[in-house]
Amino acid sequence: MLSGTDVAIIGAGPYGLSIAAHLRAGNVDHRVIGSPMHFWRAHMPFGMQLKSEGFASNLYDQKRELPLKRFCEERRIAYADLGIPVHLETFTAYGRDFQKRFVPEAEDKRVEFLERSPAGFQLHLDDGTSFTARRAIVAVGVDHFRSVPAQLAHLPAEFGSHSSEHNSLDRFVGRDITVIGAGSSAIDLAVLLSEKGANVRLVARTNSIKVHGKMQLPRPLWDRISQPMSGIGPGWKHIILSDAPTLVHLLPSSMRLMAVKRILGPAGGWFMKERLAHVPLLLGYRLRRAECSDSRVHLEMVANDGTQRRLQTEHVIAATGFSPDLHRLPFLSDEIRLRLRAIENTPVLSSYFESSVRGLYFVGAISANSFGPVMRFAVGAKFTARQISKHVALTSRVRTAMRLLSASLPDVSAQ
């Protein structure tokens, strides 16, 4: 007989761990399946710094006992709410420590298949075991959603890759590398490769690369009034998007989708501005074709004015971000896919992150079209964990009360 639990959490990144910490505090029976902080440990380049400020780079337990600030104080790591970039290694170590303290039950396994069952859902794991859960929360992050331009998708691994495939950059020392993209991952990767000793250039179809400016600290009073700080940046607009996802959820879908596409677009962290000055930039070029020959990748590009350019390089890295898409989640059964209502290939979610498949929830970047761009950042886990745990705990209490009430009623069929 299969073992069962109330809630299964698929994924152990900032969202999955924050939700699990809240459920554990609420004594809700659950299992967490996933390697803790795996994406951050295995798919981000060593030496990277987070674009989010220190106060917005937390994981969230119910009583806020372990914010990043406290972790850094305990380890004597330099920290400030504003102005000191958070290093990737610090963030991953913090996430692992959070997991050990608040989610010790996390199982370093992978869900191979999720399907409906009479009990709710059945999960099949990569170790050959299975279990049932009344509810399932998909918190897989973005690794399934790598976006690679069609012109590069056919390249063998020796010649082309996605930025998330590289945590160590040692293999590129002394080699000629071309990075495609205009966002923070492209900027970070190009700078880190250059500093490692690679001959690197950054190619982007935009005419300029945006890098945030460094704010004046301490912030002047007028700046704090006119541009209050939120978890996703300064400004009243960002305050609403960051602190009021429920309000964003109530907006017409067209407005939400526009906000997700246009607000918080590609940009590098302020700390990359001087370092990026040492990287050659080819701006305003669209990639037309990429072919391999003579141990090189031959790139054909066209400028906005129609000018063509050819370039040879040893390896091309697509730092072109991620595109959340339900079709890219390989573990979902066909039945579940067919029953999911979607908008732009992402699930339509209730105010509690529940999809049209009852008991199935989606969180993180794939929920941004329902709750706004804050869900693309770690700070979005605060609202998510609180909202889901409150809903799950309430429905669990109702179910228990109904079961007890049913057991206490006389069996009229026997009379």
**What integer pLDDT is reported at residue 399 of this predicted model?**
65
Alpha-helical runs (H) found in 218-340: 221-226, 236-243, 245-250, 253-262, 273-276, 334-339
**What integer pLDDT is reported at residue 186 of this predicted model?**
97
pLDDT digits (tens, 9 = 90+) for 244-300: 999 999 999 999 999 999 988 899 999 999 999 999 999 999 999 999 999 999 999
pLDDT digits (tens, 9 = 90+) for 64-94: 999 999 999 999 999 999 999 999 999 999 9
What residues does 342 pair with on adjacent strands?
347
CATH topology match: 3-145+322-406 vs 160-211+267-318: yes
Q: What CATH architecture does domain 3-145+322-406 belong to?
A: 3-Layer(bba) Sandwich (3.50)
How does pLDDT run along the chain (415 residues), one tens digit per residue?
467 999 999 999 999 999 999 999 999 999 999 999 999 999 999 999 999 999 999 999 999 999 999 999 999 999 999 999 999 999 999 999 999 999 999 999 999 999 999 999 999 999 999 999 999 999 999 999 999 999 999 999 999 999 999 999 999 999 999 999 999 999 999 999 999 999 999 999 999 999 998 999 999 999 999 999 999 999 999 999 999 999 999 999 999 999 999 988 899 999 999 999 999 999 999 999 999 999 999 999 999 888 999 999 999 999 999 999 999 999 999 999 999 999 999 999 999 999 999 999 999 999 999 999 999 999 999 999 999 999 998 887 666 666 666 666 666 555 5
What residue ranges in 89-228 does DSSP mark as E strands? 111-117, 120-125, 130-138, 160-162, 176-180, 199-204
284-289 long-range CB contacts below 8 Å, 24 or more apart? 284/204, 284/205, 284/206, 284/207, 285/203, 285/204, 285/205, 285/309, 286/205, 287/149, 287/151, 287/152, 287/180, 287/203, 287/205, 288/151, 289/151
312: left (phi over 0), alpha (psi -120 to 50) or beta: beta
At 23, list the tokens: 């459920």
CATH of 160-211+267-318, one of 3.40.50.150, 3.50.50.60, 3.30.420.40, 3.40.718.10: 3.50.50.60
The span from the CA of 376 to the CA of 319, in Å, is 16
Q: What residues does each domain of the chain span?
A: 3-145+322-406, 160-211+267-318
CA triple 33-35-39, angle to 5 deg: 125
Side-chain-side CA neighbours of 168 within 13 Å: the count stands at 2
Contacts with 310 (C-beta within 8 Å, 6 or more apart), sequence order:
298, 299, 300, 301
Nearest 5°: phi and psi at 135? -135, 150
**What integer pLDDT is reported at residue 411 of this predicted model?**
62
Sheet holding 176-180, edge to edge: 160-162, 315-318, 176-180, 199-204, 281-283
